[in-house]
Structure 1
């Protein structure tokens, strides 16, 4: 039963992605939270989902979002302290909010796998804070490396489009595709 729901969820997500793509093809340039997203919601066929499933999906989404916001709230409090030096007026306002970090633990076969840990500030130990700090530092370094590589790809696209006289990406992509078909050994460096 769970596998069947997973397949239904994957098909439904593909349907949502298709609708988003269809609408973005008409919009092309927009700000996050743009009103056209409501049109996408209205166009999604959800007739296969029962009222009970819809309510559960809705409540589940709210619970997950609020849990994430609670976790970010603690991180934001720490950021504010780092930036301003100002301590919270009421430390216990945050006592039941969690911090989240990831550790690597061995599975049954001895392979290392990532496991997210969440612990409320009320129960957090010095080891929890150090584990959070190590995880966040590692994540920040990895993110920076990936972000800079991605920045270089975008700069490369801009440079190649300018050199080739292409105004829009589809024109550039068509030219690159054609060049790759004509000369398969050509490698583009970004």
Structure 2
């Protein structure tokens, strides 16, 4: 259960102010149909994080124990630094038209926006760290939903009340603690 709870917390915090959270806001404002958007985010996240988790599990089998420990420790420390850099939504990522419907447009846009994103990279690292694929994927997906569903349902009201600097600092601290903990266990 530790892998599930750690994955949920880290991704929920890391997602605050992230480009995919901004994309959620854009989708909600553009389509004004929250439930197909929420479902599109859920499916895109499950697919994306299952793939990322599989990569993390694969890395665990191919790297030696000592090498993996160093890679993971340094990856978590790098994620701590990366979390402090606020994201901007690229214009290419924003959905211009709902040619394929709200759900499919959301699924595609969200899946592509999440590629190479810090929460995807965190999922790879967490799956490698815990070697427990499904609790990590379930936790990172829940964390993603905890951060994005309120934005879709409440829009701008949520993002204006949450102090993103503090949230980013807490997420960075968690990544740093994980990184130092992994390296110290060596």
State the TM bucket, normalised to the shorter chain.
under 0.3
Question: Could you tell me the TM-score, scaled by structure 2's length?
Answer: 0.23
Structure number with the bigger relative contact order (C-alpha 8 A, sep ≥ 6) is 2
Provide the TM-score with structure 1 as the length reference.
Answer: 0.23
- Higher helix residue share: 2
